Structure 1
Amino acid sequence: MLKTFLRFLGAVDGEDRQMWFLLGVGAFMGFFLASYQVGTESLFIQTLGEQYLAESFFVTGALGILSSAIYVYLQERIRFSRLVIGNAAVITLFVCGLRLAFEFVELGDKESGFSLLPFLLFVMMGPMTSTLLLGFWGLFGRIFDTRQTKRLIGSIDTGQLVATIVAFFSIPLLIELPFIDDTYDLIFLSSLAMIFILWLTVLICKNYNVDLIDSLKKDQKVENTGYLGIFKNDYTRLLSIFIICSMGAAIFVEYSFLATIEIYHPEEDKLNRFLSFFNGTVIIMSFIIQTFINDIILNRFGLKVALMTMPIILIIFMIGGLISGHFFGYEILNEDFLFFFMFIISGKAFTASLRDALESPAFKLFFLPFNLTVRFNIQNKVEGVIGQLATFLAGALQILIASLVFIKLIHFIYLIIAIAIGVIYLSAKLYNQYQIKLKETLIYQRDLLADKGKINEFSPLRVLNNELKSENEIRVLNALRLYEKLDLIRLPLVLLDQLSSSSVKVKSYAYSKLSEIKAFETLEIIKQESIKEQNESLLILARKTIAVLEEFQTYELTDESIRRYTRSTRQQDRVYGARLLVKLTEDKHLPYLAELLRDIIPEVRTAALITAGKLQRPEMFAVILDHLHIPSYSNTAMSALMYLGDRIFHAADAAFFKTGQHTATMVRVVQLFGIIGGKQAKELLWKKIEFPNKQVVSELLKSLNALGFESKDFQSARIKLIIENLLGDIAWNI
């Protein structure tokens, strides 16, 4: 059931653990934000009210800029794991400290003047939320790669949404508990949630390498991403202006919302219940939009429409608020005030839900064209520091407007509509610039690959061959273990090369493994190397290896001797029997090998596949090809087929076009042609250029590239058309 839930969210095999960690952080973060927001907003309205709203947003923006700037500054200088853990620890201590302070400071009301603790709680809500989210999305981006990010970004914070919904709707019940006597006791629940967030953050940093990007920055020359550089660049400048306008609209909507509910709900109990149910409803709307609507809008209509949706809906509700306010009133609580109140809270609800569920995930995708080494730095500066700058500017503008005596609440609605129109215009402009930036990134990557002039430079076997040349024995041993997984048939030759190594551990491993896999064809070379051996322990090991291989080489194959091993109930015997069959010369012994190729024990079948490849018997070709789609045997089967060379081409081509063939087998066959190479391989690959499966065609183009395929005029046109179709699909998904 739990796996089904993760599959519903878009996770695939191998991503379960990461998803549970992030869903856990998101869940407690949602509970923290819910309890903190209701307690803070309720306390602020009860003790300070509308007269301090403008000043509070101004201070919130200033503190937000400061906290985000410090966060970004530290991110460039310390490891991300230390930063995100330290950030969570500081917030935990702050929230716990504030809750404790209420025990020693008397809480006032509007008549008693300014109250510091409610003001401090309110102005710190934005900065704490901002840095928490920067840390959360930073962890998300470092645990998953770009493709996983695109697939999971719309659902990764579902845990946060569900927990927030539960928290908001449970607050009316929680305030009835004996230890929740006052509104500020909700901060106690926030403290508990932050302690769990800190604990999970430590576990994530311990289990995953979230500092990998930091190490990449040390090895690469990183371009300047200072604030001046952000505003000089056309693309990043547009990103900054967009978030300032979008955040500004949200701040003015929040101002209008809080001022309106202060009029409609002056009583503390009703206010707490209203804020709980209202914010819970907003989160439910976010969940519905994010789960069922988000992907539809992004996939069918693209990023531009995703950014435009929120301001368009906001304009509709604000126009309704203007009309109802002018006709029915907006300052005095009466029956007609309900019309204005409903339009304002509806605008707030849709703005908040769409911004969290649609605009924010879509906006994060605009950072994907940046190089990985600077992407998170730019994202943190734009969404963090510059996002908080929007709150600061909105607060300053509110103070300026409020100083004008003729300005009333309804005049802020006109300003909200004007800003929303600006957001729509910026959405279109930003999307056009995004396409240009994406194209520049693709061209840069293409030129980078062209400059290297190397084909398959980072293919697994090439990387392992380079590792085997290392002077570090641990790297060599790890490379040998990986080689055993990828190419078992060529492994004996690789092990023989290591017998000349200066490392005792490497040579010991080579002798032991040659003995284990019964590589009797290397016997003469091992004898020659043992003569040169100076180390006593290695000499003993070499002699044992020689004795094992000599016994194996001299073993006489008869029906009885073969059955003794191949039909034994012991797994080790059947593995030994599979290796013995590499010496068979008579066709009557082939059925024994066929039996072992159907054995249920992976070790036995793997040994049989290696033998089948070494024998190079055409009768075994089809059986080896049938193993290509099975993950447990795919690499071994591939190794056997590579050993066969161009003899396998006809059987592999027939297997490719077999009715109902697995996609994994077709992909492997295409890779096989690219690895073996030759004129015939190019011809067989070209025959499949118009195959309807895009995954196969994509792998086919890679194989042709690896073979140095030079297309003729008519071939170039067809390849160009295929690539354009693939890029068209990618662009549509983006």
Structure 2
Amino acid sequence: MNSVFIKAFKIKKENGWFINSLFLHQFFVGAGLALFFIASNAIFLAEVSAENLPFVYLFTAIIYLVTGRLYNLLTQVVKKERLFQFVIFGMFLFILSMYFGALAISKVWYLFFLMVMYRIVYLMFHLEAFGLSSLLFDLKHSSSLLGWTASGDLPGRFIGYLSITSLIMVLDLPSIILVSACCILVSLYFLNRILNKPEFATVEISQPLENVQIEPETNVFKFYFGDRYLRILSVLSVVIALTAILIDFSFINDLQLKIRTSQGIAEYLGYFFSIICISTFIIKFVFSKKVVGKIGIRTALYVLPVMLTIVFVLIFYFNGLAEREGGHSLLHFGALALIFMVFKYSLNEPVFISLFEPIIKPYRLHSFIVLKTFIEPIGILIAAMILIFTQFNATLNFYELQYFLLISIGFWLLTLIVNHQNFIKIFESALEARSLEGSELAIKDKDILQILESKLEANHSEAVIYSIELLHRFDPTHIDARLTLLLSHPSEEVQIHVIEKIKALHLETQKENILKIIRQNGEITPNVKAAAIKTFSILKKEAIEEINYYIDDPQSPIKRAAILSLIKFGSEEQKNKAKEKLFLLIGSTEVNDQILSLEIIEELNESEYCDVVLGFLENENEKVVRKATLVSGKLQDRIFIPFLISMIKTGHYYNEAILSLVQYKEDALPLINEEFGMYKHTKERFMLRLCRVCGQIGGGKASEILWWVVKFPWLDLKIEALNALKIAGFEAQLKEDFYQVTDQVEKLFGQIFWLHNAIILLNKKRGFNLLLDALQKALEEEKKKIKILLSFLFVSRPEEYKEILNLLGSIEKEDRL
């Protein structure tokens, strides 16, 4: 991908191919939707009066509700990647069916159905695009690509609209629908390229498959309508949808009065919407973020309704009140439609989506789905009823219709004015709850930045740290001054965080401030001074003479920092003096000195101290041994592996030994394998612990060892090995893995069958209560094992796994009856 393009959109170089695939996916979807839109509108308007459009809106609102409920259900039972593929393929099938319908059906009802289907297909794409963007990008990267991911279809739409004049010369309108379907199919290919790429596989921390539950839809609605902030967004959404439909109807109806032929309508719509696309693209990427950053989110929400009001006033002025009966102007309504669509998609919609950031994460996606598929249809439904009422009671009096539109815009402005303060208060609440992760467009709002600035003066250290991190992320230009201010914050936690941040950012401008902290006495806590010593040495790349005095400091944190700084950055004389002090601590009989020496060795992370750590592993003091065990994992020297396994075997300090042994990863597996081989026919408890180590290490070799252990005779060990395989993320993908799992499942089903029959027979006899209890417990253990085994076959298909568990449960229930 072109380097200029990468810089323009702040794309990471390593993700260039990935972003390119995403662009092509959205490009072909956009082109397909553009062609489908023009063809469906041209076919409809050439045969049916635009006065019937209110019924199209009415049916659209109803089907939106059904589509939304279905999509909300699918998000909870289908893996996200599969859901997106399902949605795009569904769009292809819908459009393809419309092509065959256009050839075979000549009924009027089909033309209505065609218009409704375009709106349903567009809704499906909107949901897919929102979900796909949130899935594919980590939050930080997603923020920088907010405009890009939300507008990747615009170039495709532009090409689609612009090409209609050429296509219509060689193809009829139904054939253009077929071309649209082909574009959607091509986009599916690029979507599969993205989702099948191993580097970009979704990493989600999910609950065990057997615990997967569909969240009751009533809970989502209860949360949604129980939240005042979401109710405000709902009112805004209804008003915007209502306004959009009234403008759409006014424009389309006036277009039909001026142009009668399907070809003329198609060409006009192609040129008109290509202008909208290119204008939206330019405004979104060149001006939107700058505008929002300067005027703020709250003011940005006023831009579209204010501009519509101005255009409306001009329309009334030029049309004149004398022409209130039948005075139509395609230019006026075209201008209104153009202003609405350009600023809705370039400014209003991105800002509106950013208002979902304060919502707690588990409900964010569901709230968006409810908004698009339940709330917006209410606005569409109201608009449809107004149009139908106007049509049947005033023979579609355009002057009255314009008043409805003006009232709608007025109510839009009133809603914003009444709730002006609430939009910032909700962001402030989100900051208090630490739930604001933030999109770039939202967080750069001047009001929100001002709130973050005010939080820097808070007494609660968590609020200060959270705010400085967000400020650095989204407004890094003033980070130096902010950190200088926070160095004098009363909280030790804040001071240490700021010093560590100065070190991480390598801010050499802060050297003097850090040096002042080192030279202060009494007012600075030992931990703060220690952090300052280490940071200053890293910034200056040398250890100043003053640090020499601190290697004998009575405070352990300061002494540790001084010794570390001198060894890492000091002169030869300073290094020798610091090492001498370190070996004095190592040879000390005081427990605190020994632990301090281990802490220094841990931070130095140099193999020359391995013998020292080995010596501490045999220390008489429990605290020293525990610390030495943890340090052995940090040093990553294979010499420690046998010692760690021995500690796991003896049961002394085995928790620390497990943590350290896991850090050696596959290097530890050969010796672990030997231990399993030596104790294969025993019931040593340490083998259970080694299973846990293998599970945490993961990978092919660890899974191979665990499958071997599954075949050992000890029942508890079998279960532990299976649990470890699950922790390791094992999935039966290769043929040998699949056969291995199915062989074990077959054996277990045989054992379960035998135990089940034995229990049934013994239930008919007396005096076997103890045996029955034992068999029942054995049966439960076998069931646990078989559930784990089955999960290995259905890691990527949780819905099928759940069906199998339900089936097993129903069979068991019938057997009991």
Q: Same fold (TM over 0.5)?
A: yes
Query: Corresponding residue for 2:75?
Result: 75
Local SS of the residue matching 1:155: helix
Contact 1:172 1:273 in 2 (8 A): yes
Q: Tell me, in whole angstroms, the C-alpha distance in 1 between the residues paired with 2:662 and 2:361.
A: 41
Q: Tell me, in whole angstroms, the C-alpha distance in 2 between the residues paired with 1:19 and 1:511.
A: 33
Query: In the TM superposition, what is the alpha-carbon distance from 1:34 to its structure 2 partner?
Result: 0.8
Give the direction of change, closer, same or farther, for the CA distance of 1:39–1:440 in structure 2 (3 Å limit).
same
Query: In the TM superposition, what is the alpha-carbon distance from 1:406 to its structure 2 partner?
Result: 5.7
Local SS of the residue matching 2:147: coil
Query: Corresponding residue for 1:444?
Result: 433
Could you tell me which amino acid in structure 1 is paired with residue 204 of structure 2? L
Q: Cα deviations across residues 564-622 of structure 1 (Å, max 9, x unaligned)?
A: xxxxxxxxxxxxxxxxxxxxxxxxxxxxxxxxxxxxxxxxxxxxxxxxxxxxxxxxxxx
Is the counterpart of residue 416 in structure 1 residue 560 in structure 2? no
Could you tell me which amino acid in structure 2 is paired with residue 201 of structure 1? L
Contact 1:65 1:389 in 2 (8 A): no
Q: Tell me, in whole angstroms, the C-alpha distance in 2 between the residues paired with 1:49 and 1:141.
A: 41
Q: Which structure 2 residues correspond to residues 497-576 of structure 1 after superposition, within 5 A?
A: 497-499=640-642, 500-501=644-645
Q: Tell me, in whole angstroms, the C-alpha distance in 1 between the residues paired with 2:178 and 2:214.
A: 46
Query: Corresponding residue for 2:289?
Result: 295
Contact 1:64 1:389 in 2 (8 A): no
Is the counterpart of residue 127 in structure 1 residue 120 in structure 2? yes
Contact 1:46 1:268 in 2 (8 A): yes
Q: Tell me, in whole angstroms, the C-alpha distance in 2 between the residues paired with 1:501 and 1:164.
A: 63
Deviation larger for 165-174 or 382-391: 382-391
Query: Corresponding residue for 2:390?
Result: 401
Q: Tell me, in whole angstroms, the C-alpha distance in 2 between the residues paired with 1:71 and 1:535.
A: 52
Query: In the TM superposition, what is the alpha-carbon distance from 1:66 to its structure 2 partner?
Result: 1.4
Query: Corresponding residue for 1:136?
Result: 129
Query: In the TM superposition, what is the alpha-carbon distance from 1:498 to its structure 2 partner?
Result: 3.4
Q: Tell me, in whole angstroms, the C-alpha distance in 1 between the residues paired with 2:366 and 2:85.
A: 18
Local SS of the residue matching 1:226: helix
Give the direction of change, closer, same or farther, for the CA distance of 1:8–1:323 in structure 2 (3 Å limit).
same
Aligned residues: 480
Query: Corresponding residue for 2:162?
Result: 169
Deviation larger for 318-327 or 271-280: 318-327
Query: Corresponding residue for 2:196?
Result: 206
Task: Please point out which of 252, 261, 265 is paired with 1:267.
Answer: 261
Q: Which structure 2 residues correspond to residues 646-665 of structure 1 after superposition, within 5 A?
A: none
Contact 1:251 1:394 in 2 (8 A): yes
Query: Corresponding residue for 1:243?
Result: 237
Query: In the TM superposition, what is the alpha-carbon distance from 1:282 to its structure 2 partner?
Result: 0.8
Query: Corresponding residue for 2:88?
Result: 88
Contact 1:32 1:189 in 2 (8 A): yes
Query: Corresponding residue for 1:630?
Result: none
Is the counterpart of residue 187 in structure 1 residue 166 in structure 2? no
Q: Which structure 2 residues correspond to residues 310-459 of structure 1 after superposition, within 5 A?
A: 310-326=304-320, 329=323, 340-405=329-394, 407-430=396-419, 432-445=421-434
Query: Corresponding residue for 1:651?
Result: none
Q: Tell me, in whole angstroms, the C-alpha distance in 1 between the residues paired with 2:665 and 2:18.
A: 40
Query: Corresponding residue for 2:615?
Result: none
Could you tell me which amino acid in structure 1 is paired with residue 173 of structure 2? T
Q: Tell me, in whole angstroms, the C-alpha distance in 1 between the residues paired with 2:258 and 2:292.
A: 38
Could you tell me which amino acid in structure 2 is paired with residue 35 of structure 1? L
Q: Tell me, in whole angstroms, the C-alpha distance in 2 between the residues paired with 1:129 and 1:442.
A: 35
Q: Tell me, in whole angstroms, the C-alpha distance in 2 between the residues paired with 1:164 and 1:118.
A: 23
Q: Tell me, in whole angstroms, the C-alpha distance in 1 between the residues paired with 2:663 and 2:74.
A: 45
Q: Tell me, in whole angstroms, the C-alpha distance in 2 between the residues paired with 1:54 and 1:533.
A: 77
Q: Tell me, in whole angstroms, the C-alpha distance in 1 between the residues paired with 2:79 and 2:187.
A: 19
Q: Tell me, in whole angstroms, the C-alpha distance in 1 between the residues paired with 2:22 and 2:374.
A: 24
Structure 1: stretches of 5+ with no match in the other structure: 107-113, 460-483, 515-528, 537-734
Give the direction of change, closer, same or farther, for the CA distance of 1:188–1:402 in structure 2 (3 Å limit).
same
Deviation larger for 235-244 or 47-56: 47-56
- What is the RMSD computed on CA atoms of the aligned residues? 3.9
Give the direction of change, closer, same or farther, for the CA distance of 1:430–1:11 in structure 2 (3 Å limit).
farther
Query: In the TM superposition, what is the alpha-carbon distance from 1:251 to its structure 2 partner?
Result: 0.7
The alignment-based identity, stated in percent, is: 16
Q: Tell me, in whole angstroms, the C-alpha distance in 2 between the residues paired with 1:494 and 1:437.
A: 52
Contact 1:68 1:384 in 2 (8 A): yes
Give the direction of change, closer, same or farther, for the CA distance of 1:331–1:120 in structure 2 (3 Å limit).
farther
Q: TM-score, normalised by structure 1?
A: 0.59
Give the direction of change, closer, same or farther, for the CA distance of 1:533–1:210 in structure 2 (3 Å limit).
closer
Could you tell me which amino acid in structure 1 is paired with residue 146 of structure 2? I
Contact 1:248 1:391 in 2 (8 A): yes
Q: Tell me, in whole angstroms, the C-alpha distance in 1 between the residues paired with 2:119 and 2:665.
A: 63
Give the direction of change, closer, same or farther, for the CA distance of 1:17–1:344 in structure 2 (3 Å limit).
same
Query: In the TM superposition, what is the alpha-carbon distance from 1:39 to its structure 2 partner?
Result: 0.6
Q: Cα deviations across residues 382-413 of structure 1 (Å, max 9, x unaligned)?
A: 13332233212221222122221265123221
Q: Tell me, in whole angstroms, the C-alpha distance in 1 between the residues paired with 2:70 and 2:15.
A: 32
Query: Corresponding residue for 2:23?
Result: 23
Give the direction of change, closer, same or farther, for the CA distance of 1:448–1:341 in structure 2 (3 Å limit).
same
Query: Corresponding residue for 1:639?
Result: none
Could you tell me which amino acid in structure 2 is paired with residue 83 of structure 1? L
Could you tell me which amino acid in structure 2 is paired with residue 119 of structure 1? F
Contact 2:42 2:263 in 1 (8 A): no
Q: Which has the higher contact order (CA 8 A, sep 6+)?
A: 1
Deviation larger for 384-393 or 497-506: 497-506
Q: Tell me, in whole angstroms, the C-alpha distance in 2 between the residues paired with 1:488 and 1:59.
A: 72
Could you tell me which amino acid in structure 2 is paired with residue 304 of structure 1? R
Give the direction of change, closer, same or farther, for the CA distance of 1:245–1:403 in structure 2 (3 Å limit).
same
Q: Tell me, in whole angstroms, the C-alpha distance in 1 between the residues paired with 2:232 and 2:334.
A: 30
Structure 2: stretches of 5+ with no match in the other structure: 436-459, 464-491, 501-601, 608-630, 650-657, 679-817
Is the counterpart of residue 118 in structure 1 residue 107 in structure 2? no
